[in-house]
């Protein structure tokens, strides 16, 4: 049986199938239910096929949800479904789906359901030839996390080392939230200035490794303050109670950071993976390099995660031809730093050394120097007044300035 995932979909699935015989009753919450009792048998067939194929819990929930929509829209027995019902189904699904990617998934899932509930020679033409035209003009791009925004978010969590470690590792390693958050102390391989994170369970592509270089300072700092670092079975990324950190908590914190930083974008755990892949494309890394870092079996998934645009491609071409300068700030910002005062290895977003409190950011140093110069100048003026017009200070001391 498939293990439960970090979103607790196993519990949701078990709750759903425990009430599957009531699928024909109109729900108090929600819209869809099976309108024809003859179609209940197909739910049992699909559930049995799940056990045979040992599908993931989220996949099971998805297919059951689509079957529920089908049996709500199509009131006849599914074996008698025809072309007229097909149009109704397509109209209903178009009303549900917000993106072309969702439409494509629904199309594939409906065909998959047909194969699960009917034998090859019995499958109705509806399932065999189900197809929905996709209009490219209705496609909407997801919010893209820019590097400067990511840098601000990392700095926002200066007092939350677990969030800094997760955000930086997710961006760099291209790991999925579930893959990263299911890692345990035993999965961490530490070296002098880099680390490997072994994905030993809940990996979509199976067992693999995640590489930590730029995120290493945050990762090692989190590990050093881990209350259970001597326990190999403890979760590496922990919440305030010492238990496993969950994506829901991370998403809430990211939303708060965006609100405080005036980043008007809907960002989640997965936004970091997409941003990391897009960033690597923009600095010229090959598709194969990205594939191997992410642990994919092919480069096909780049189409899903890459958010680079035509304008980005134009810029890369101009840089290659030497017509415009490369954006050195982004490339250099993604590297670790070493504090010259205490030799502490620091993250790419650090501006002040957390160990010795020395300022590392040149702009901050300049601001401090400017402020110091203003204070020095003010003190000089006070000293001058005291030496040349001491009566002013006597008046102030006696509270008589108001009279003058």
- Nearest 10 degrees: Cα torsion 310, 314, 320, 326: -90
Q: Which tokens go with 188?
A: 């961490």
Backbone angles phi, psi at 48, to 5 degrees: -65, -40
Q: pTM for this structure?
A: 0.74
Q: Is residue 285 very low, low, confident or very high in pLDDT (cuts 50, 70, 90)?
A: confident
CB 251 within 8 A of CB 270: no
Q: Is the pLDDT of residue 287 over 70?
A: yes
Residue 307's pLDDT is 86
Q: Which residue has the higher pLDDT, 349 or 110?
A: 110
pLDDT tier at 172, thresholds 50, 70, 90: very high
Q: What is the mean pLDDT of the chain?
A: 83
Mapping DSSP to helix (H, G, I), strand (E, B) and coil, where does residue 346 land?
strand
CA 316 from centroid of its chain's CA atoms:
26
Domain range list for the chain: 9-138, 147-320, 362-403
Which architecture does CATH list for 147-320? Orthogonal Bundle (1.10)
pLDDT digits (tens, 9 = 90+) for 191-217: 988 999 999 877 777 788 999 999 999
Contacting residues for 160 by C-beta, under 8 A, at least 6 apart: 253
* pLDDT band at residue 321 using 50, 70 and 90 as cut-offs: confident
Residue 37 CA from chain centroid, whole number: 41
DSSP string, 215-271: THHHHHHHHHT-TTTT-TTSBSSB-TTSSB--HHHHHHHHHHHHHHTT--S---HHH
Residue 111 CB partners (closer than 8 Å, separation 6+): 127, 128, 130
Q: What are phi and psi of 240, to 5 degrees?
A: -70, -15
Element (H, E) at 337: strand 337-338
Phi, psi angle pair for 372, to nearest 5°: -60, -40
- The whole-angstrom separation of Cα 91 and Cα 197 is 46
């Amino acid at each position: 049986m498939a293990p439960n995932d970090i979103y607790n979909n196993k519990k949701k699935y078990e709750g759903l199938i425990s009430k599957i015989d009531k699928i024909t009753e109109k729900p108090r919450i929600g819209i869809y239910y099976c309108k024809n009792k003859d179609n209940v048998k197909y739910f049992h067939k699909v559930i049995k096929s799940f056990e045979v194929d040992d599908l993931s819990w989220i996949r099971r929930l998805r297919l059951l949800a689509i079957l529920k929509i089908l049996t709500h829209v199509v009131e006849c027995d599914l074996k008698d479904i025809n072309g007229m019902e097909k149009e109704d189904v397509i109209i209903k699904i178009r009303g549900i789906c917000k993106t072309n990617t969702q439409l494509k998934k629904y199309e594939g899932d409906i065909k998959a359901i047909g194969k699960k509930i009917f034998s090859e020679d019995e499958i109705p033409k509806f399932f065999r030839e189900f197809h929905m035209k996709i209009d490219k003009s209705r496609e909407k791009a997801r919010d893209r996390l820019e590097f400067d925004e990511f840098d601000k978010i990392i700095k926002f969590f200066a007092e939350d080392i677990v969030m800094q470690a997760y955000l930086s590792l997710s961006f760099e390693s291209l790991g999925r939230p579930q893959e990263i958050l299911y890692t345990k102390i035993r999965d961490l391989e530490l070296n002098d200035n880099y680390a490997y994170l072994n994905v030993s369970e809940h990996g979509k592509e199976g067992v693999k490794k995640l590489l930590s270089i730029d995120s290493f300072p945050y990762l090692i700092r989190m590990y050093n303050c881990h209350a259970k670092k001597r326990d190999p079975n403890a979760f590496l990324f922990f919440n305030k109670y010492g238990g496993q950190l969950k994506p829901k908590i991370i998403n809430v914190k990211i939303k708060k950071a965006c609100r405080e930083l005036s980043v008007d974008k809907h960002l989640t755990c997965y936004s970091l993976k997409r941003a990391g892949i897009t960033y690597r494309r923009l600095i010229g890394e090959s598709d194969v390099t990205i594939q191997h870092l992410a642990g994919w079996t092919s480069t096909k998934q780049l189409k899903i995660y890459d958010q680079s645009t035509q304008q980005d491609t134009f810029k890369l071409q101009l840089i290659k031809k030497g017509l415009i300068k490369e954006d050195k700030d982004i490339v250099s910002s993604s590297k670790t730093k070493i504090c010259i005062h205490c030799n502490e290895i620091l993250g790419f977003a650090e501006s002040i050394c957390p160990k010795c409190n020395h300022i590392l950011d040149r702009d901050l140093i300049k601001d401090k120097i400017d402020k110091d110069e203003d204070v020095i100048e003010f003190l000089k003026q006070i000293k001058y007044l005291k030496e040349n017009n001491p009566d002013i200070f006597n008046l102030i001391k006696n509270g008589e300035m108001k009279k003058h």
